[in-house]
Chain A
Amino acid sequence: MSAAAPPVGAARVGPLDGIAAYVRRNGWTFGLIALLVALLLFTKWIQPRYGPIPLQGLATSVQPLVLAAVAQAIVVISGGIDLSIGSIMALTSVVSATLMDKQTEGVSVAVVIGVLLLGLAVGAVNGALVVFTRVPDIVVTLAMSFVWAGCALLVRSAPGGGAAAWLRGLVGGPLGNEWIPKAAVTVLVVVFVVWIPLSRSRIGLSIYAIGSNRLAAFRSGVPVARTRLLAYVLTGFFSALAGLSLTATTSIGSPVPGPYTLLSVAAVVLGGVSLAGGRGGVFGPIVAVVVLQLIQTDLTFLRFDSNYALVAQGAILMLVTMFSSYLSFRRTRT
């Protein structure tokens, strides 16, 4: 396998060449999508009754983790890591569930906007601490995970609150065709409206640049500090979305952080984002989350103890990264 890039300015560049290059560039994501399709077919084969309703359930149940994975992907692409995502989700989830409980629609819309702003602020605090203290990202966000979890407990010491009806409506059920889960559409719309334009802009380029080579980016005039801060702000924003999704899908807010931080790291890595930064996108992690969840579903259908799903997820994480490490090893050899 040669990984050589197509020659620049080749004489005949047909439309198909463009598509081929696109597929090659996003090979990992397409591989994952193929795996997802295969898994869906396998699920249908072992459980012929698997239809639109379970599919909608799947989309709803993965939604918080999908958004958490997007949040993690952005900061990891910028060369950082955020170990406080789970705590930010808990904080935003309890705040939203507490404030919108038994309130009118208008209030709940204001709450959603307020919580998203809170996510931006929390991300800004994380980012500012990382940039100005020069303490490694992993240490700062680890410590901040205590702080945000503590804030969540301050808001509400036990699970409770409620979600507005329209918010719950956004994450469950079908949209038009019964095969199109509303939860999946919501995620895709958010990603397409927020991340895609950003990633195509100068800001997105800067985020990839500082993740790829911070010194080179600095010398090319990229404002490194500002861009790192911005990556954390975006991560905070998507973590807040994940928290809102948690409120919407469970109808309550829980102050205890779920396993989302570490799962989001796993999803990001499985999704083809390099922990070293600068490589990957947000769609790989999204597909990876769905694949992981579907494997768990299949193991249940096959009557395995559900705890083996955890084992399988860990093993897949290790095997896939070994495979990717092997690929990059071969690439450097040839």
Chain B
Amino acid sequence: MSAASETAVRSGVGNVRGLFRDRPIIPLVVLLALLVVVMQLASPGIVKLSWAGVILRTAVPLAILGACQTLTMLTGGIDLSVGAIASMAGFVTATLIHSPGGVPQAILVALAVSALAGLLTGIVVGVFRVHPLIVTLGMSFIVLGFANVWQLQSVQTGAGVPVELRTIGSGLQGEIVPNSLVVFVPISIFILVLLRLTGYGRLLFAIGDNPVAARLSGARSWQVLTVLYVLSAVLAGIAGLVLSGLTNTASVSLADSSLLPSVAAAVIGGTSIFGGRGGYGGTIVGALILTVLSALLTVLGLPEPTRQIVFGSIIVLVAAAYTRVTAET
């Protein structure tokens, strides 16, 4: 092989790496397409518009929870309280629908409580500089504890998931377009714009990349972080509302099983857990990949244990491939 072609090959590999590093969303979309093809092969005829609608509907709560992880991971943090907050929001709403203000009041109360939890988290993380992993873990205990107390006191006065939430969470327009997009599209546009175009978004990247440099260049990181964790908690609350509508259940442990997948969605989507690198577009695709994957594993007729094993292995594989390809050489 001549030297010239060798260089060409090497720069070709370099280009692929550069592409993966700069536009992580492209290989992710390819992976997603691949999974859909496998799905079609595994069960011919299953892939059609209504199927896509159902997948999208399932992926929406996960994608919103993934937003919490993406935003916090960009600053080098993580939010382990999203599961507890989301469950709490869904549960509180369901118990308050008979209050004077009806469903809107119930939702407002649920989101206000979420925001309060986020505010506390944010202050402890931002002002006292405690590791977010610990603070959000502690906050999840606190929220779950209070939710349990509330569960005992509200004694289920015929409460259930309100019809409005069920329509939004699980309804499909024309059997295809999920109603939850009404919630999801504004949120995703908001986050994408926030990260790409606003100073606040740049501050998140700056703090995650190098907190000391960010502070020295005048970023008031405690303010940024406090706002961040309030935002994350409110998003988690919204995800909980959508999820309770989707599953038509209100329980204090509803979203617990979504916590780890939400981190996985952000990681697969190319957001670095060390901060400073990533974006929300990848997370959305990551959430879709996880949802399709789990649907695929169900279609393949694998029993639950095997599904979990394959699920975990694929997360490690994707993350490893990602790290290998984008590793600075």
Contacts and interface: CB of A to CB of B under 8 A. Distances in A.
Given A135-B323, A146-B308, A149-B308, A275 B316 contact: no
Interface in A242-258: none
Interface in B129-150: 129-131, 133-135, 137-146, 148-149
A146 to B, nearest CB: 3
Interface residues of A, number: 44
B142 A143 contact: no
A142 B145 contact: no
B311 interface: yes
A129 B317 CA distance: 10
Interface stretch (A66-74, A150-158, A172-180, A193-201): A150-158
B128 A146 contact: no
B137 A266 contact: yes
B267 interface: yes
Contacts of A147: 308-309, 312-313
A91 to B, nearest CB: 11
Contact of A139 (B138, B143, B267, B327): B267
B312 A308 contact: no
A303 to B, nearest CB: 14
A149 B304 CA distance: 10
Given A142-B264, A265-B133, A307-B145, A314 B316 contact: no
B305 A321 contact: no
Given A140-B316, A314-B140, A325-B128, A146 B309 contact: yes
Contacts of B143: 314
Contacts of A322: 124, 128, 130
Contacts of A301: none
B129 A325 contact: yes
B41 interface: no
Contacts of A135: 316, 319-320, 322-323
Given A143-B264, A315-B142, A262 B323 contact: no
A317 interface: yes
Contacts of B148: 307, 310
A321 B135 contact: yes
Interface residues of B, number: 46
Nearest to A307: B148
Given A142-B260, A147-B313, A314 B139 contact: yes
B51 interface: no
B130 A325 contact: yes
A326 B128 CA distance: 7
Contact of A313 (B78, B129, B141): B141
B152 A305 contact: yes
Contacts of A41: none
A312 B137 CA distance: 13
B273 interface: yes
Interface string A252-272: 000000000010011001000
Given A145-B312, A310-B145, A136 B134 contact: no
A32 interface: no
B309 A266 contact: no
Interface of A is mostly: helix
B303 to A, nearest CB: 8
Contacts of A129: 316, 320
A38 interface: no
Contact of B308 (A153, A309, A329): A153
B40 interface: no
A145 B133 CA distance: 17
B316 A144 contact: yes
Given A133-B316, A135-B323, A318-B139, A150 B130 contact: no
Interface string A211-250: 0000000000000000000000000000000000000000
B98 interface: no
B177 interface: no
B72 to A, nearest CB: 13
A136 B133 CA distance: 15
A145 B306 contact: no
22 contacts: A135-B316, A135-B323, A139-B264, A140-B316, A146-B315, A150-B304, A150-B309, A262-B140, A265-B137, A307-B146, A307-B149, A310-B141, A310-B144, A311-B141, A313-B141, A314-B140, A314-B141, A314-B145, A318-B124, A318-B138, A322-B128, A326-B128
The 5 closest A-B pairs by CB, nearest first: A314-B141, A146-B312, A150-B308, A310-B145, A311-B145
Given A146-B260, A262-B80, 19 more contacts: A129-B320, A133-B316, A133-B323, A133-B324, A135-B316, A135-B322, A136-B273, A136-B274, A139-B316, A146-B309, A150-B309, A157-B305, A262-B137, A307-B146, A307-B148, A307-B152, A308-B145, A325-B130, A326-B128
Interface of A: 129, 133-136, 138-140, 142-147, 149-154, 157, 262, 265-266, 269, 275, 305, 307-318, 321-322, 325-326, 329
